[in-house]
């Protein structure tokens, strides 16, 4: 693979109860375990960061494939829900739901574009076979 960009981040403190910052300083934030997992919830958490990154990346892939098909991507959006829980093997795993909105595209075409984007998106390619990813196309 020809690497075009490399992001660098450092986590310090107590892991999920610590700090994370990027090497260029554009991201610098406190981390906290969510209340649902017994923490204070007084900071962001890795699942929120993953959800934001996946949503943004998938939206870019969606816009790329939509433009190639000359589809109207005005007002498009992608939401991501990232769940964490125990696996049958005793460890922890993630589950992702991507919610796609292409309000100016017929539903059948929106479904096709969403599947195409899932083949193009780097996050989808990285998680394929490792994380359950559900794709949903919404009407709004």
* Residue range 11-50, pLDDT digits in tens: 999 999 999 999 999 999 999 999 999 999 999 999 999 9
Looking at residue 48, its pLDDT comes to 97
Beta bridge partners of 24: none
Q: Cα(131)–Cα(49) distance, rounded to whole angstroms?
A: 16
Looking at residue 139, its pLDDT comes to 81
Q: Cα(68)–Cα(60) distance, rounded to whole angstroms?
A: 12
**Which residue is it, tokens 């109207």?**
72
Q: Cα(123)–Cα(52) distance, rounded to whole angstroms?
A: 11
**Which residue is it, tokens 């981040």?**
9
* Residue range 41-75, pLDDT digits in tens: 999 999 999 999 999 999 999 999 999 999 999 99
> Two tokens at 126?
């990285």
Q: Cα(138)–Cα(78) distance, rounded to whole angstroms?
A: 10
């Amino acid at each position: 693979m020809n690497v075009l960009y490399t992001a660098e981040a450092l986590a310090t403190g107590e892991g999920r109860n610590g700090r994370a910052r990027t090497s260029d300083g554009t991201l610098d934030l406190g981390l906290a375990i969510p209340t649902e997992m017994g923490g204070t919830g007084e900071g962001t958490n890795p699942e929120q960061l993953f959800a934001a990154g996946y949503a943004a990346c998938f939206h870019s892939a969606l816009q790329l494939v939509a433009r190639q098909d000359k589809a109207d991507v005005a007002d498009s959006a992608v939401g991501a829900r990232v769940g964490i829980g125990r696996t049958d093997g005793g460890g922890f795993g993630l589950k992702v739901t991507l919610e796609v909105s292409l309000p100016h595209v017929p539903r059948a075409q929106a479904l096709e574009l969403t599947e195409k984007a899932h083949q193009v998106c780097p996050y989808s390619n990285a998680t394929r076979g490792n994380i359950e990813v559900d794709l949903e196309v919404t009407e709004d």
